[in-house]
Amino acid sequence: MQQAGERRKGVSADHARLMRRATRLALAVALTLAACKALAWWLSGSVSLLAGLTDSLLDGAASLLNLLAVHYSLRPADEDHRYGHGKAEALAGLGQGAFISVSAILVCVQGIDRLLHPEPLGAPALGIAVMLLSLVLTIALLLYQRHVVRETGSTAIRADSLHYRSDLLLNTSILVALVLAGYGLERLDAVFGIAIALYIFWSALSIVREAGAVLMDTELPPEVSEDMGRLACGVPGVVGCHDLRTRVSGTRWFVQMHLELPGQLPLIEAHALCDQVEAAIHAKYPRAEVLVHADPLEVVRPHP
């Protein structure tokens, strides 16, 4: 059991390193793109580029919030937070949803104004170059974030990745709008800006729903809980299990269950079976912290 504990500590340290690196990289990308888009928008007056600039500025603010939240969530459990600080990630997700919603509203308002009062765009070549750079950096960031989410299951990094995926669509749309504007279709720039804003707002709702599910202690997917029950009952000596409960906090899954064991079983053997069940579940689901309670079979299923 001591070796298992050491392995868990090693995995946690690895996860912490990946998550911190992902948040710092996201902040660096957002600030770099904001600076480039600010210059391109100033020279071109493109509503689509303004949409990209606004989104990148809010991305920077959201990524900074994410960085602070992840740093806090990785703090070990203490006397006031016995289950750790993982829900700070979900709070960061709610904050990101608010930031993204604001950006969508601002861009939509600007797009409607430009539809009503169209203006020619300037410096389209610079805008196109900036958007190509944005696509390259965003794709690189998304690939790394996908790796981190797969390894850690972090809610905050997943939320960050979700709005950078919307950025990928946003940047592609801006690029198309700038190219079309070069052929005299300036109004499409505003149309693309409004469409992007609506998509960003939808993404924000998705982030808020996911963060809310974590804060409300929503259960893991039914198939995962059922599989955990099968793993528990698959340990020789375990007759059955019931009252399996799960919830998520940050990168950790908290699992509680009652095992049904023969009533005449010595306490030391019952304890060993509980340890085996915990180890079986943790082996397949490394993020799970399992708490097992042993019930005498004669109490759970009394004879008539």
Please write the tens of the pLDDT for every residue from 264-290: 889 899 999 999 999 999 888 887 888
Other C-beta atoms closer than 10 Å to the C-beta of 183 total 8
Give the whole-angstrom CA distance, residue 51 versus residue 197: 8
Of 115 and 1, the one with more pLDDT: 115
pLDDT for residue 85: 59
Average pLDDT, the chain: 76
Q: Kindly tell me the burial class for residue 252, based on how many C-beta atoms sit within 10 Å of its own C-beta (0-12, 13-18, 19 or more).
A: buried
Q: Which of 88-97, 137-146, 249-258, 275-284 shows the lowest mean pLDDT across its residues?
A: 88-97
Nearest to 39 by CA among 114, 113, 133: 133
Position 299: which residue type? V
Question: What is this structure's pTM?
Answer: 0.54
* pLDDT 10s digits, 115-170: 777 665 555 677 778 778 888 888 998 898 888 888 777 766 777 777 677 777 77
Q: What is the mean pLDDT of residues 176-195?
A: 72
